[in-house]
Each structure stands twice: as C-alpha cells, then as structure tokens.
Structure 1
Amino acid sequence: MSVLHNKISNAELKRKMMEETENRVTISFYCYFTIVDPKSFRDWLYKNLFALKVFGRIYIAHEGINAQISVPESNFEAMKQLLYSIEPLNGLRLNIAIDDDGKSFWVLRIKVRARIVADGIDDPSFSMQNKGKYVNAGQMNELLNDPNTIVVDMRNHYEYEVGHFVKALEVPSDTFRDQLPMAVDMLKGNEEKNIIMYCTGGIRCEKASAFMLHKGFNNVFHLEGGIINYARQVKEAGLESKFIGKNFVFDERLGERITEDIIAHCHHCGKPCDTHTNCKNDGCHLLFIQCKECATKYDGCCSIECKDTLHMPVERQKEIRKGIDKGQNIFNKSKTRLRPKLKDIAGS
C-alpha cells in the first residue's frame, strides 16, 4: 500500500531535515477551483509529493487548495510539472520565499477542510467568480500614492505588528472570518474609493476582495501573490518598497525580512525587536516577540511562571498541563493574550 500519512515522530523527522545537505526551496501557492472529491485528490497529491520529498502544510477543500511547502532543488521542476498537470493549476504562480534557509518544514501534512481559508460566509449568493482586480508591485505603489486609495491589511495583529504597508488599516480581530464583516463596517461610506486588500500570499485578500464587491464596494483591488510576490517584484524591478519591516510566515522561520526597518518591540522590555518565538513551556507555546537579552533572561519563555515550569521535572510539567486548552496561543493576537502576563512580570 502507498504511504498516505506520516508515521515517524516529529523529532526524528526534524533531525533528518536538519541533516540534509541539498538546498530546499520554500514555496507557497493557492487556487480557488472546484474539487469534486477532496479526499481522493488529497490522497493522490500526498502520494506524488511524498515521492518528491516535499514537506509542508496543504489544505484541500471543495473550493480549492492552499499550500506552503518546501522541495529539494533537484525536484523543483518535477514538482512544478506535477502541479501543472492539474488543469486548473496549469501556469499557477508559485510564490518562492525571499528570506529562506530551506528549513521551513520537516514533514508533509495534507488535510481536507471545509474551506481552504475559514471565512464564516454562509450567504449562498456569494461567489468567488466576482473578485477584485489584481495589482502588481508597480500598480500597488501607484495606487498607494493616490489620496483616493484605502489599503487594508487582511492579516492578524501578530503579522501586522512586525511589518505592513505604509498607511495600511489594521482590521482588529483574531480571525479572518470576523475581519470580513468588520472591514465592511470600517469602510462604509467609501464605496467609490480605491480599496486595496492585501495579505501574506494572496489567498485571504482575494476572498476579501470578492466579499467587498459582494457588499457593494465598486473599486476593489487585491495584491497579486500578496506580500511575498510584491517583495520579489520590488527587488527585481528596483522599486521602492512601500511595505516596511518583516513579513510574518506560517512555518519554522516565522518571518521574512523585507526591509531593515524594525517597527515592533520586545513584549518584555519594549526594546525595538521583531523576532517572533514560541514560549518554550510545552504547556503554553504562546507566540510573542522577544529580544535576545530577554530570551536569555526568561529562558525563551513568555513569563516567570512559564520559566519556573520549564525547570520542573518532566512528569510534573505533564501533570500541570493536563487538561489545558492552549487554544490559539501558537498563532494568536499577542497583544491581547500576552499583556496580562507581562504586567505580572513588571510587578514582580
């Protein structure tokens, strides 16, 4: 029987990946198209990508595919031709990572989901067929210079915090499904202005652009390929980057540097810093920003409580975290979840 699921421990897989000598390329892509049988498509894709030593995270749904992967350089063309053999994906843009050490993933996971991006849309009249106009890097810069333009960041706070386009509006919510109606409410009265939506790789802003048109906005655009593609085009064409700081990415790297600007701050001491990390306490794993000095001081933990727990015997740690629901701690809005802990630290 063909291998359709990983059966090796994460620790062993990560060790093997770190020992690899061939360079890997980190890629992201997505496509909205109809998949009649997501489970069969998932199994076929897993078998073929596994044979090419592809690692990464892929979601399959009736509405399409959303993928972040890494592939050995020698298998890149074969992987590309495999994807292009699927008619709706033929010629699909592949976003190649900018700041990449090839160590982004160490296992292949392909999951069938209800949606490739959770949107909460239950209106049967909504359609992805009517979506905003694509803009490239040059067009994005031109529109940003137009006073009749409003640019909207469709990412979460922890992404926006370390890097964003100049004058970009943040939609203050923990989830994309909540951001969609919030964006509509925030922009009421601006139905005739240029509305540009953007996100990391394009998948969220493409759906957001369709939703805005569905809600009566008339001049809606979305950044083709998101920040990843924008950064590449800016570099290749020698354009000014209107995106400043770091682009948060959902893999082991946790970020790609786009410009040298550091616009975020250490969540402990307030020093300029844009390095995301996960709390080392296995009962927490909170995502937050931490400078090198504070990482040393708190042993890579988000609080004194977690630091103390980290140094307890392993069995005691397991006992403490029994029944704990970490919820969205790993990828969450750090400013809302971490601040209470930091207040406790300051007062200790």
Structure 2
Amino acid sequence: MILHNRVNGKVLKEKIKASDEKRITLSFYKYVKLSDPQNFRDKLYHDYSHLGIFGRIYVAHEGINAQISVPAERYEEYEEYMSNSEELQGAHLNSAIEDDGKSFFKLKIQVRKKILADGLNDTSFDVTNKGVHLTAEDFNKLAEDPNTILLDMRNHYETEVGHFKNAICPDVDTFRESLPIIENMLEDKKDKNLLMYCTGGIRCEKASAYYKHKGFKNVFQLKGGIIEYARQVNEQGIENKFIGKNFVFDERLGERISDDVISHCHQCGKPCDDHTNCKNDGCHLLFIQCKECAEKYEGCCSEECVDIIHLPEEEQKKIRQGINKGRQVFKKGRSEKLTFKK
C-alpha cells in the first residue's frame, strides 16, 4: 500500500465539497514515548486510510498530535481502534463545535523532531510535572479569583478573533516565542495563580510543566482547551466566558463560541472575524476578510495578487518559483498590504 496521498489537493478539495458524507472532526494529542516514530507513522497511515480518516498528524519520539475527520458511520469502529492501541489509548478526543464534515480533504502524517515546536530542551525539566487540569466550571471560578493571572497560550492571529475575558494575550507569531516573553512578564508574580488555556490543551500541557520548573507555584490549565470548554458550556449550561471565535487549524479556520465579533476586516476595517488564505498560491497570506472585500478582491489580499491570479497558470508558476510558503500560512496577518491589520 502507498503510504502517502498521490492525488492533486485541489481535486480532493472539490470532491469533499461535493460530498454529502457525514464526518466528525476531532483533535487529540498524547505524550507517549515512541521508539520508532517512522514505523508508527506508517502503520497509522495504513490503519487510518482503511478507516477513511482524513487529517493532519504529527508524530515524534515524544508522541502524537492530531487533527482529523472520521466518517460518522465508522466512529464507533475508530473509538475501538483507539482503545485497543497501546500508544493511543487514553487520549482525550476533542469534538469540533461547528462541524460541516469538510475540515480536511486528505490524510497527511509527518514525522517530526517534536509534535509541538516549543524550542525547549525537554531533558532540562520534568515534562510530566504538569499543571492542574480544570473543568470549564472550575476554570470559570478560578478565573474570577483576584489572585489569578489568566493567560492565552496561542498566537496573535488566534487571539485576535477570540479569547477569554480579561486574558493576557501576548502578541506573538509562535508558541516558542511566547514562553520566554511570558516568563519575563510574570517574573515577579510567581506566587499568583497562573491559569492557562489554548485551543485543545497541548500547548498548556508543555507550558505548565515548563513554568513549574521556572518557579511558578500555582499552575493550572484548561483541560481539553477551548474546544472542550465550549462543549461543557453547551451541555451543562455553564456561563460562557469566551468571546468570539476559536481559531482552528483546518479548512474551517474557526468555530464560533459566542456571537461577539471582536476583530475587523483587514482590508476595509468593518467588524469581521472570518479568516481566509489569499487565493494567490504564491502568497497564501492568512488574513481576515469580509464578504464584500472577498468579492472585490476575488479572495485575494491585494490588487497585486488579484492581477497575478488572472495570469496564465504557467506565468503564475514562474512568479512563485522558489517560494515555499508551507506552514507559513499560519504566521501571517501582519503584511503591509493590509490596511487594517492588528
């Protein structure tokens, strides 16, 4: 069996758009020692392919970090597979809040040095000495404590469209940037309650252990992140302290947690919290764009990019030759092309 996708991504995108198959979007992570990440990756690709699973998964010696979509009719079969896997059993599955079943259109599993780019030397501290995990209800209570510092562990483009009330939101492009910035910011507050949250919990899992190592006495984290918080709020009737959208790393680029729109279109300044990627493949800038500007600029970030997408495909390829945007699509939103950027 071929252990990677060989079909053009645009073809697969159109196929999933046209499909009426019901799929469930999930995310999970697990820190577990994998002696042979490549072998684990290949077996996982084989098994997940047979289950009809799409998604983006990172595997490393330290564990697995996954965002996937599973055919609804095979969900119970997938749960059984997880519970029977020595490496994956016990991993908490976060279910998407807003889910149209089209979050992913192919399966991609990569072996990396780390499942989370944190820039830390894991041998220098005990990564298992984590902060206290809190439910949504307990999180809300602690967030109200005047001795608590509420900290968003996500990046600028995520916090721009949604965050918890009164949270500190560092203006950073990456998780690894935020760690020393936060440490310096809170150097004289190590006796406070440090209450952290992120999208699904993985960033807090590592950050909580790191900050305990750095001398913070009372470290807490939101179990399951914003995704699990929203589920508990909806199911248990708990007060929702999150305002706006939760940015997600799949085709949806966001799921609404509250009706508040706290950001603006980066092109006209109108209230808007819909992220998109510039349609020019040589740019692919991640930015916020309202429907009117999407129509005016044809899904692009600038008139320059509009001109490029109207060129013959061969000319477009020449222009973007040697340009590798890769995962840089999630580090943007600061371009000088955008008049109303954050």
Give the structure-1-normalised TM-score. Answer: 0.94
Residue 3 of structure 1 deviates from its aligned partner by 3.1
Distance 1:225 1:123 in 2: 22
Decide whether the 8 Å contact of 2:57 with 2:67 is kept in 1. yes
Decide whether the 8 Å contact of 1:149 with 1:196 is kept in 2. yes
Residue 5 of structure 1 deviates from its aligned partner by 1.4
Superposition misfits of 4+ residues, deviation over 4 angstroms: none
Letter paired with 2:23? R
Letter paired with 1:175? T
Match of 1:257 in 2: 256
Match of 1:341 in 2: 337
1:77 aligns with 2:76: yes
Letter paired with 1:317? Q
Q: Deviations over 1:69-109 (max 9, x none)?
A: 00101111111111111235323221000100000001111
Cα gap change, 1:171/1:125 in structure 2, threshold over 3 Å: closer, same or farther? same
Decide whether the 8 Å contact of 2:265 with 2:271 is kept in 1. yes
Residue 11 of structure 1 deviates from its aligned partner by 2.3
Residue 56 of structure 1 deviates from its aligned partner by 0.2
Matched residues, percent identical?
60
Distance 1:9 1:221 in 2: 44
Match of 1:7 in 2: 6
Match of 1:318 in 2: 317
The 5 A counterparts of 1:51-62 are 51-62=50-61
Cα gap change, 1:123/1:55 in structure 2, threshold over 3 Å: closer, same or farther? closer
Match of 1:118 in 2: 117
Cα gap change, 1:50/1:293 in structure 2, threshold over 3 Å: closer, same or farther? same
Match of 1:135 in 2: 134
Cα gap change, 1:12/1:123 in structure 2, threshold over 3 Å: closer, same or farther? closer
Distance 2:134 2:158 in 1: 21
* Partner SS state of residue 123, structure 2: coil
Decide whether the 8 Å contact of 1:275 with 1:289 is kept in 2. yes
Distance 1:4 1:314 in 2: 30
Match of 2:297 in 1: 298
Letter paired with 2:92? R
Residue 36 of structure 1 deviates from its aligned partner by 1.1
Decide whether the 8 Å contact of 1:284 with 1:329 is kept in 2. no
Match of 1:102 in 2: 101
Cα gap change, 1:123/1:20 in structure 2, threshold over 3 Å: closer, same or farther? closer
Residue 270 of structure 1 deviates from its aligned partner by 0.8
Cα gap change, 1:122/1:5 in structure 2, threshold over 3 Å: closer, same or farther? same
Decide whether the 8 Å contact of 2:94 with 2:227 is kept in 1. yes
Q: What count of residue pairs does the alignment treat as equivalent? A: 341
Match of 2:40 in 1: 41
Decide whether the 8 Å contact of 2:82 with 2:89 is kept in 1. yes
The 5 A counterparts of 1:204-219 are 204-219=203-218
Cα gap change, 1:326/1:9 in structure 2, threshold over 3 Å: closer, same or farther? closer
Decide whether the 8 Å contact of 1:155 with 1:176 is kept in 2. yes
1:154 aligns with 2:153: yes
1:235 aligns with 2:231: no
Distance 2:10 2:179 in 1: 38
Distance 2:107 2:182 in 1: 34
Gapped regions of structure 1 (runs ≥ 5): none
Letter paired with 1:39? Q
Distance 1:89 1:48 in 2: 13
Q: Deviations over 1:147-188 (max 9, x none)?
A: 111111111111000000011111222111121111111111
Let me know the Cα RMSD of the aligned residues. 1.6
Q: Deviations over 1:237-291 (max 9, x none)?
A: 1011111100000000000000000000000111100000101111101000011
* Partner SS state of residue 331, structure 2: coil
Distance 1:154 1:57 in 2: 21
Distance 1:111 1:141 in 2: 36
Q: Deviations over 1:36-93 (max 9, x none)?
A: 1111111111111100000001111111110000010111111111111123532322
Distance 2:183 2:71 in 1: 42
Gapped regions of structure 2 (runs ≥ 5): none
Cα gap change, 1:29/1:156 in structure 2, threshold over 3 Å: closer, same or farther? same
Give the structure-2-normalised TM-score. Answer: 0.96
* Partner SS state of residue 171, structure 2: coil
Residue 304 of structure 1 deviates from its aligned partner by 1.4
* Partner SS state of residue 71, structure 1: strand
Cα gap change, 1:52/1:326 in structure 2, threshold over 3 Å: closer, same or farther? closer
